[in-house]
Amino acid sequence: MKSNVFKIVLPMAVAAFGLASAAGTSTLNNKGKAAIVPGYERISSNPVQCQYVADCDEGSQFACTAPDGVTQLYKEANTCQTPLRRDEQ
């Protein structure tokens, strides 16, 4: 009888412990460093043409600019419409 209890209860306890551990290490609330996104500069308006300049970290405080410190960088390589932001200036 004792071995039947271990055969039934022990696997359930291990599964419950595993589920609790997995829930405790969830990355849904991860406040870590943002992902790297390529930044594009608009080089002509008609038609819109963009070229890769630098990477941005997609933060939210400062405008992501080209190495010249003035030119705004954008997210899309085709349209250059969504401005990129970054955490550090």
User: pLDDT for 31-84, tens place per residue?
Assistant: 556 678 898 998 887 888 899 998 888 777 888 888 888 889 998 888 888 888
Give me 5's structure tokens. Answer: 């209890």
**Whether pLDDT at 30 is above 60:** no
Domain extent listing, the chain: 37-86
Q: Which pLDDT does position 33 carry in this prediction?
A: 61
CA max distance for the chain: 82
Tell me which of 18 and 3 has the higher pLDDT.
18
